[in-house]
Amino acid sequence: MNWNLDTLYLSFDDPKYQKDFEKLTKIIENYNQLPNLIETEKELTVILKYLALKQELTKISRSLFSFNSLTRATDVSNQTAIINLAKLTNLLNKTTKTNVLMTRFLKDIDLEPFKSHPEIADNFFHLTKIKESAQYLLSEQEEILYSKLRELSSVSWSRIQTLLTAKLDVNYQGKTVTLPEVRNLAYDASKKVRKAAYDAELKAYESVEEVVAIALSNIKREVNIMNELRGYDSVLEQTLIRSNLKKETLEAMLATMMDYRVYFRDYLKAKAQYLGYQNGLPFYELFAPIGSLTKEYSYLEAQEIIIASFDSYSPKLANFAKKAFQNNWIDPFPKKGKSGGAFCSNQPQIKESRILTNFTGSLSDIATLAHELGHGYHGEIISENSALNWSYPMPLAETASIFCETIVTNHLLSEISDDNERLSVLEIAIQGDTQVIIDILSRYLFETDILALAEGPISNATMKELMIKAQKEAYLDGLDENILHPYMWLNKGHYYSSGLNFYNFPYAFGLLFGKGLYALYLKDKKAFLNNYDNLLALTTKASVEEVALAMNIDITKKEFWENSLKLIKKDLDEVIHLMKVLK
């Protein structure tokens, strides 16, 4: 089964594709005339013309870029898509000078008098963010030069990591499999299979680790250089500004996560004992299934579980899932040349989404499907916003997805009476929570260390050492310190973007914010249902703190994060208890 991209374009030869490419070229020509209006037209006229052209540009470029990037996601060597992406990028780079000039134009304008105009009011947050970004701009010529050279540096290094991991041959028990296939064996019911898959995975990385380390090292070196030139105090400051998030919010969340490491450590030690290990849990046993519910699910069964779970929350969410499954918005199964992991690509310009997973039948795979459908539902809500309000910041990107995972888990638990089966479902959820709190913490620590060292080249040996160090600090002694995963930097694409740094803590934010929202849902379901979609729509038009305050939540204080982690601790305690009594 493959996803259907026909509502974007039928193929690269589709006349609509060529027509849209030509249309994009014309829009860019018109857009680049905007600076000429600054001296001759009133401020309001220029701003309105700018908003209109930028929205047109956003809509058509999203369709063209998405068709190529989605095609490439399922076939990383597709040369037509690769060439077209380069052409589109070069075309959009022609707007760089205009972007700089318009940002400087907006910098000195008081927008408040224009707020009565509906178009200004609707895009006020977007315009304000552009005004604030002006202080970090380089000169027009420098911005143009960087936009061109970036394609030959960090973007190319990122593509190398994608290509090498997607095409990596893994020798597993005498046969060649893909990297996603062997990584998915971490969920297998057999301890022997899990260990063999882990060994095969680590062995396979040896053939590419030096090149991928050079890629990551050079990307982070570029990030440091550009942040210094732009005047940011740190890469983290830049990330927080782009995320619409206050530093005090991040610090409150991270401090609380550090406090709660010990409870996850206790769970990991209990799981180790349950599986017969004495020195902590080996890394390859993190996803070992527990309890009696070890069946593999068909893709059809996964659909039925998700739709029934979503329907227990709201028919609107269930109908969205049905639409995604019935219209082939999902590319579910692993195959050679396909990107690993999972993602959702929202296409608000056509009011659809596309979801990529590597489904092999585990309960965890069902949770992943629910997670990505949550992103898709978020995309459906924001498709009603203006085109300039289609992008939500990283921390809020995971809100709907984590919420949907929680819905599925709680629905499954509500239908189970057998303790062994309850242990299976609850422990799968805890596996995910451990990844999103503890492993994410290790990724945050690792990226912090890498950026601190990225004044020069960083060797693959150093990267492995830093990853082990970060895992020990995050997992404490819950894992066997002699059996960790030194290559977690190599297979996670989130590290390999110069424009998206620290794409790790947003997952923890999404989990804990989602847990807090779910607690509100349980208190007053009717009131929550009336407000939740409005909250999702607001995620693109306000700061993260303002979005939270819309539900009367203060996320700058540790209290909120503690309350969310207490909900997880309750599940941790139950899993530990069940493992002890059912062993």
Rg (CA), the chain: 24
Task: Please choose, from the candidates 505, 520, 525, 507, the residue with its C-alpha nearest in 3D space to the C-alpha of residue 567.
Answer: 520
Asked, for residue 331, whether it belongs to a domain, the answer is: no
Asked, for residue 51, whether it belongs to a domain, the answer is: yes
3-state SS track over 278-314: CCCECHHHCCCCCCCCCCCCCHHHHHHHHHHHHHHHC
- At 455 the pLDDT is 87
Asked, for residue 40, whether it belongs to a domain, the answer is: yes
Distance CA 558, CA 561 (A): 5
> What digits encode the pLDDT tens for the residues 337-384?
888 889 999 999 999 999 999 999 988 899 999 999 999 999 999 999
Asked, for residue 54, whether it belongs to a domain, the answer is: yes
State the total domains in the chain: 1
Has residue 238 got a pLDDT over 80? yes
Q: In sequence order, what are the beta bridge partners of 172?
A: 175
| CATH number of the CATH domain containing 128 | 1.20.140.70
Asked, for residue 530, whether it belongs to a domain, the answer is: no
Once rounded to an integer, what is the mean pLDDT over residues 501-527?
91
- At 513 the pLDDT is 94
Asked, for residue 36, whether it belongs to a domain, the answer is: yes
> What digits encode the pLDDT tens for the residues 437-483?
999 999 999 999 999 999 889 999 999 999 999 999 999 999 999 99
Asked, for residue 469, whether it belongs to a domain, the answer is: no
Q: Which two tokens stand for residue 370?
A: 């629910």
3-state SS track over 535-566: HHHHCCCCCHHHHHHCCCCCCCCHHHHHHHHH
Has residue 294 got a pLDDT over 90? no
- Quote the domain boundaries for residue 52: 15-152
> What digits encode the pLDDT tens for the residues 87-131?
999 999 999 999 999 999 999 899 999 999 999 999 999 999 999
Once rounded to an integer, what is the mean pLDDT over residues 544-552?
94
- At 323 the pLDDT is 98
Distance CA 395, CA 399 (A): 8
| Count of other CB atoms within 10 angstroms of residue 40 | 8
Asked, for residue 94, whether it belongs to a domain, the answer is: yes
Distance CA 421, CA 427 (A): 10
